[in-house]
Amino acid sequence: MHIVGFGGFPHPTLLEYVFELAGGRKVLFDRTAAPQFDFPLEIDAEVTNLSFYPWPPADLRELALSRDVIVVGGGNTANMLAVWRVHGFDAILREAWEAGVVLTGWSAGMICWFEAGVTDSFGPQLEGMPDGLGFLPGSACPHYDGEDLRRPVYRRLVADGFPSGLALDDGAGAVFAGMDLREIVSASPCATGYRVGRDGEKPLEARILPAP
């Protein structure tokens, strides 16, 4: 049971790590958070783009369970979660995770797995969203070094009682085995993760991945 969250758009090195972890390259790309975009990278993988518009595919469960990796793209997290829940895809994702499919994604596709997250779903000012999927405990914040408001807003939210949690720079990934954080991986020596609590933030050591 693995989840790998990326703070920002994934570097090919990070995706290669995910494929190795999954032991395969059959990818389902969920683009619900930004339906106008197909999978944005040219990679050596079998990629199927998933759309819920105008309706989900009839074989949605079988499609998800037959993949090695489910990748969730960035965009509007709140809208994405609402669509998933209406069509029961939240339950399918949990079943896939428990069956060994690796769940991953960036931005919206990072914070969705947690109980709560910092999102621009409601406007550029950023807000705390308390109703994530809850596969992972606590809260999450992407783009920690990539957007000026992310760090101060997340720290303020947590100081004011928002669940403590994990922040990731754009080039970093957090690898969970079950619900436990196993390691931080990075495509750059400048990118890492942070534990963020009411008393501030603590940087986490990242393992720099070799280029594929």
Catalytic, out of 107, 121, 164, 186: 107
Helix or strand (DSSP H, E) at 185: strand 180-186
DSSP 26: E
Residue 104 burial (CB < 10 Å; 0-12/13-18/19+)? buried
How far apart CA 38 and CA 171 sit, in angstroms, is: 21
Q: How many CA atoms lie within 13 A of 186 on its CB side?
A: 18
Helix or strand (DSSP H, E) at 147: none
Catalytic, out of 11, 121, 143, 186: 143
Establish whether 107 is a catalytic residue: yes
How far apart CA 87 and CA 55 sit, in angstroms, is: 9
How far apart CA 64 and CA 166 sit, in angstroms, is: 27
Q: Can you read off the two tokens belonging to residue 33?
A: 């958070």
Between 77-86 and 89-98, two packed helices, what is the crossing angle to 10 degrees?
A: 90
Active site residues: 107, 143
